[in-house]
Chains A and B, each alone.
Chain A
Amino acid sequence: MPNVSVNGIVIDDTFAEAFGMRATAIIITAPNRKWARQAAITMTGFATSVIGCGCEAAIDVELPPSATPDGRPGCRVLIFAMGTDELQKQLLNRVGQCVLTSPGSACFAGLEGSAALKLGSALRYFGDGWQISKKIGGRHFWRVPVMDGEFLCEATTGLTKAAVGGGNFFVMAESSAKALLAAEAAVAAIGLVPGAIVPFPGGIARSGSKIGGKYKGMIASANEAYAPTLRGVVRSELGADINAVLEIVIDGETNDAVAAAMKAGIKAVIELGPQRGAVRISAGNYGGKLGKFIYSLKDMLP
């Protein structure tokens, strides 16, 4: 099938290829929105890619006081990893170092999953014997004394094995500024989709990679086919009109969440139009043989 054009933007006849992952969610609350976001942003820092960070994490949605267990502003954070053990380790390290430490914070389960991951039931040891176990309405909490009162933390949170990581699309434009504008529009739209995150800086990756490399030990390396400076010297995927490519990588709680996020992001890029934003949209894959989940761009059009 040939490439199609929507609103003057070329949509490549290709697909994104994604993988099954393990994911969990927590709800972080704080006395105000600023500190709920601060705790969430800190714990999801350095969590762009499992390749080097151990997990991929970001804020899923901000929650109004009416939607949190303690009636304070909060954030729902999603965390993805390749295995349950690594997810558990990352969860405890990050909540222990970044949420427990954040002023006025509290931490609750954000997911009812097929299995439980330890949360407060491990962090409680910070209490050094002064921690208090409380069961309220069928939920188990730990109260850990800290210097501004108590850190309240739910004992466990849920694990889902239905999560998907690596949904993606490329935003390709005539200039860096236009590519960035289009990618930002996509990220803003995906932010409204529940259950999906874009873990890279501001939701955008500029160093899309291929698997392996010529140097020993490199898991991922430059994707030269999409690097505009190499357009003339390698077998490039880029035409003469493309000078910048940015990638949006999406992780979702479910297959449907990833598809919804891709649709929302692509719709935003198309609505922005080729004059101000991208002239072409493509996606990354490995020939369809490695990933369990395939998202054809044709199916993701608005």
Chain B
Amino acid sequence: MKALTFTLVAEPPERLDLSLLTAERLAGIERRDFEKIQIGMSKHGSKVGDIFRIAGNDLLDIVFEGGSARLDRVAEGMRGGSVRVVGNAGAQAGRAMRGGTLTIEGNAGPHAGSGMRGGRFEITGNAGDHLGGPLAGELAGMNGGVLIVRGKAGAFAADRMRRGLIAVLKGSGDNAGSRMIAGTLVVAGGTGEMPGYLMRRGSILLDRAPKSLSPSFVECGAPESVFAAVVDRHLIADGILKRPLLGNAPQKYGGDNAVLGMGEVLFPH
């Protein structure tokens, strides 16, 4: 079977909701009816056939050829197979995904990987604010899986993260790992102001000392750490990083003591 390919014909006239175009949501629909699915979010009410040219039929291998910042909710809730976007994606890409692999070969908008619970999501370009974070009113952000941003991430990356791994390779904005509940956030390339702000538990692993920390973080020494060695080796073996991030005895800051205070910010000593 050939990959089910949606080729963008022209820049969309409105924001599109692509959450219907996943293996799970398309499963009960006849192939010839795909073009009639409404994805436009304004009065235009664009249908798939208005925006994309469709080829192939393998639901477990979906490709969006040509991207746009208006392509929202790509692969939302996906559970298996693979989805690839050749180009940019809009808001909430990979939101609540549970399995499979999602690749965006370009930039992603805000709330990429929001509340994801499993699977592997890789963004080769930059990601917007609230990477992996919850939508307004939700109690927890990312809840499992692996989320890799090869470029930069905006503010509040890993907000309220509970489980899983987020890796940002070219720096993140302010308040990375804010309100973290648990899980692991890796940021290479520097963070903005106050990473880990109000984090309860969890690990923020940096390749350099943070520019600032909330005053309720406390210095916790730099003993030799097998955990750091295991993480470094995993990040390299998994193809996320090319060289060790932390070294064998990283500096630890514990916090945020304004809340539970069982989180940590680690960086090379």
Interface residues of chain A, those whose CB is within 8 Å of chain B, are 29, 31, 69-72, 104, 106, 130, 132-137, 141, 143, 148-150, 152
Please name the residue on chain A nearest to B263 by beta carbon.
Answer: A132
Contact present for B225 and A150 (CB under 8 Å): yes
A140 to B: closest C-beta gap in Å: 11
Contact present for A149 and B223 (CB under 8 Å): yes
Contact present for A29 and B163 (CB under 8 Å): no
B172 on interface, CB distance cutoff 8 Å: no
A27 to B: closest C-beta gap in Å: 12
Contact present for A134 and B227 (CB under 8 Å): yes
Q: Which residues of A contact B233 (CB under 8 A)?
A: 69-71
Q: Which of B226, B234, B264 contacts A137 (CB 8 A)?
A: B234
Q: Which residues of A contact B165 (CB under 8 A)?
A: 136
B3 on interface, CB distance cutoff 8 Å: no
Contact present for B184 and A134 (CB under 8 Å): yes
CA distance A130 to B220 in the complex (A): 13
CA distance A31 to B226 in the complex (A): 9
Contact present for B224 and A104 (CB under 8 Å): yes
Chain B interface: which size bin?
20 to 34
Given contacts A132-B203, A152-B230, 17 further A-B contacts (CB under 8 A): A31-B224, A70-B230, A70-B233, A71-B229, A71-B233, A72-B229, A104-B224, A132-B201, A133-B182, A134-B184, A136-B230, A136-B231, A136-B234, A141-B227, A149-B225, A150-B225, A150-B226
**When A and B form their complex, what is the total count of cross-chain residue pairs whose Cβ atoms lie within 8 Å?**
49
B29 on interface, CB distance cutoff 8 Å: no
CA distance A111 to B162 in the complex (A): 29
CA distance A70 to B226 in the complex (A): 6
20 A/B residue pairs, CB under 8 Å, sorted by A? A29-B226, A70-B230, A71-B229, A72-B226, A72-B229, A106-B226, A130-B262, A132-B262, A132-B264, A133-B182, A136-B231, A136-B234, A137-B237, A141-B227, A148-B224, A149-B224, A149-B225, A150-B223, A150-B227, A152-B230
Binding site of B, secondary structure by majority: helix, strand, loop or mixed?
Answer: mixed
Q: 7 smallest A-B Cβ distances: which pairs?
A: A149-B223, A152-B226, A106-B226, A70-B229, A137-B234, A70-B226, A136-B234
Contact bitstring B255-269, A, C-beta under 8 A = 1, else 0: 000000010100000
Q: Which residues of A contact B226 (CB under 8 A)?
A: 29, 70, 72, 106, 149-150, 152
Contact bitstring B183-216, A, C-beta under 8 A = 1, else 0: 0100000000000000001010000000000000
CA distance A18 to B200 in the complex (A): 54
Binding site of A, secondary structure by majority: helix, strand, loop or mixed?
Answer: strand
Q: Which of B184, B227, B234, B262 contacts A152 (CB 8 A)?
A: B227
CA distance A143 to B238 in the complex (A): 22
CA distance A130 to B163 in the complex (A): 18
CA distance A117 to B203 in the complex (A): 27
Contact bitstring B228-251, A, C-beta under 8 A = 1, else 0: 011101100110000000000000
Q: Which residues of B contact A71 (CB under 8 A)?
A: 229, 233
CA distance A188 to B224 in the complex (A): 35
CA distance A34 to B185 in the complex (A): 35
A3 to B: closest C-beta gap in Å: 54
Contact bitstring B16-32, A, C-beta under 8 A = 1, else 0: 00000000000000000
Q: Which residues of B contact A29 (CB under 8 A)?
A: 226
CA distance A104 to B225 in the complex (A): 9
Q: Which residues of B contact A143 (CB under 8 A)?
A: 227
Q: Which residues of A contact B184 (CB under 8 A)?
A: 134, 136
CA distance A135 to B234 in the complex (A): 11
Please name the residue on chain A nearest to B182 by beta carbon.
Answer: A133
Please name the residue on chain A nearest to B146 by beta carbon.
Answer: A137
B204 to A: closest C-beta gap in Å: 13
Most A CB contacts (10 A, CB to CB) among B163, B164, B226 go to B226
CA distance A255 to B248 in the complex (A): 40
Task: State which residues 158-182 of B face A: CB under 8 Å.
Answer: 163-165, 182
Q: Which residues of B contact A70 (CB under 8 A)?
A: 226, 229-230, 233
Please name the residue on chain B nearest to A107 by beta carbon.
Answer: B226
Q: Which residues of B contact A134 (CB under 8 A)?
A: 184, 203, 227
B175 to A: closest C-beta gap in Å: 22
Q: Which residues of B contact A69 (CB under 8 A)?
A: 230, 233
